[in-house]
A and B are shown apart, each in its own frame.
Chain A
């Protein structure tokens, strides 16, 4: 099979290896924190440890005291809340055996730290929230994950006895240790499917009550996944306790942004500190924007054409150090204001040495693009070369607007012509 989903990551897996495994269908991602995920779990009856979020050291100490009273045990876990996985290895998850005073010391160390994990990149992510949780003694750690599998067009459950570790490593080295069932969307999760995973994980070792509890937990997770419109849901580790209970010790939940219209609460769950500020600004304006390393700003309509534009710039400019600075799809139904906003974002980027506007108008009308480009350029000034290629709906009108604007625009007849002109503009080559 392909790799199972990695925490905080989204990717597409292919069939072809054995055993057959799911390919993850991805949609725009709405990620949330562990403690928020556990609140959702609790709502659907998935057992989770008791815990409280904390935004300051004082709140962390109070939470630890509260937990000690409620559970009768001083042991708590202090957990950094960032979206990336691998927090434990990076030093963002610590156990306080000595109660609230120890929890306070740990909270002081973790809160505000720059937490580096294999998913954050070398610069790490600043910890601004903590989750203080009841410490539980477990006898075994399992892995349980759910994704939308794009090849079978089913929700897939994946389970493994190798919990608590990097599941992608398990998939690579011992794929036979990952068990998968595919759920029919019409009948939902069947009890036999949950039992298959339970027996496959060897849960009978812990008693038949544990098998029954696991089956109930899977059923609750399935309900949460479908009712809350998730695109990914992971429990790593899923703990088996001494008394045979099955508890979700971690919760990784990602929502399908397409369903945001029926989940008004999602906007409150979003943590803006975790988002790329430019991409967030673009998303709020209804634009698809991804920052890249190059020096050519791109404004394109349609995701496929936007990717192809990146490709052709790189193709033409590889030998000259010319590469795209961004992926930007203004979409089909963008207004002139959105186009202005998009072009302004490119103009403001200091790394941009030239701009390529590549439009094949379908629903998008060329005159809307032209007006937006002209408005932004007049407001912010156009200090770098601009190459424009317009085709499709209202192309004549669009070209007229651009030529009458007085802006220094180089018109391109094809994508290849545009890419060549861009490379010349950046390198100061032939005009």
Chain B
């Protein structure tokens, strides 16, 4: 039944009174997401759009609404703090949309997250998860949209999508929908060097989800996350995976927009990632226009 988000998701929006937060809160409500509250410190007691209560703290919001997920639109100076506040309040799924969080801040967040996850695993409690930052969010079509992706391009179905790039995720979804192939859940893990869920974390959930029958994985140059994903596919994945790696033609030493996307010293190249994926049994789309057809050829 999809992964991470669905009908059961009760969402709060941190930064709901800000420009991006309020715009996308409305869009999410319109899509059908259960937005049960918002948080903006000092604005507690107000109501958003006449129906969503605003709280001063995430703790208050969780107690009053039973929220189990939070999406963060707080600007970079306060974003890491907002993530920590959500985790501390017991939120199980934190999705950070904010772009431009200092890496030193994210090192601390990641460290706290890992400690909380270890503790939860040891005591058999639900493991808290962070998606992002600098990501489009997570959507289970027709059930729950958390983030900034255009909802109308999606269609409910059985293909999982996981990606480091926002617009390239939309591209893959657009292609799938045009072929009449629906999606179980689409997860944007974001383009920052230090972040929450990795390809492996999401692939594990797709592998375990009976509703997901195949996966499109979209990576890009830089780092080793795609290679780790390939290793997981090789060892554990029984479902077909089609992949695309952006940046085949990117020159070494030049940073391609995303903080993580740079090749240098011969590391993090597209060809190394493609080789690893092919060796793991994934099929790599030759161009970004072939992502959906590549998966289709594996599933039929």
Contacts and interface: CB of A to CB of B under 8 A. Distances in A.
Contact of B246 (A16, A27, A304, A360): A304
Interface string A244-268: 0000000000001011011000000
Contacts, number: 232
Contacts of B163: 304
Contacts of A148: 103-104, 107, 193-194
Contacts of A363: 20, 148
B77 A27 contact: no
B223 A23 contact: yes
A12 B104 contact: no
B229 interface: no
Contacts of A13: 265, 267-268
Contacts of A220: none
A105 interface: no
Contacts of B251: 292
Contacts of A361: 150
Contacts of B37: none
Contacts of B265: 2-3, 6, 9, 11-13, 168
B224 A23 contact: yes
B174 A391 contact: yes
Contact of B104 (A168, A259, A303, A327): A259
Interface string A1-32: 01100100111111110000001011111000
A352 B248 CA distance: 21
Given A23-B223, A186-B108, A315-B286, A307 B246 contact: yes
Give the interface size bracket for A toward B.
35 or more
A391 B288 CA distance: 15
Interface in A183-222: 184-186
Interface residues of B, number: 69
B103 to A, nearest CB: 5
Given A148-B104, A151-B224, A304-B167, 12 more contacts: A12-B268, A14-B224, A27-B193, A155-B107, A258-B76, A304-B261, A305-B167, A308-B168, A308-B288, A310-B250, A311-B288, A362-B167
Interface of B: 20, 76-77, 99-104, 107-108, 110-112, 114, 136, 148-150, 153, 163-171, 174, 191, 193-194, 218, 220-224, 227, 244, 246-265, 267-268, 272, 286-290
Interface of A: 2-3, 6, 9-16, 23, 25-29, 148, 150-151, 153-155, 168, 184-186, 226, 229, 231, 256, 258-259, 261-262, 288, 290, 292, 300-312, 314-316, 323-324, 327, 329, 332-333, 360-363, 391-393, 414-416, 419
Shortest 9 CB-CB distances between A and B: which pairs? A304-B165, A11-B264, A303-B257, A302-B167, A25-B193, A416-B289, A259-B102, A304-B168, A12-B268
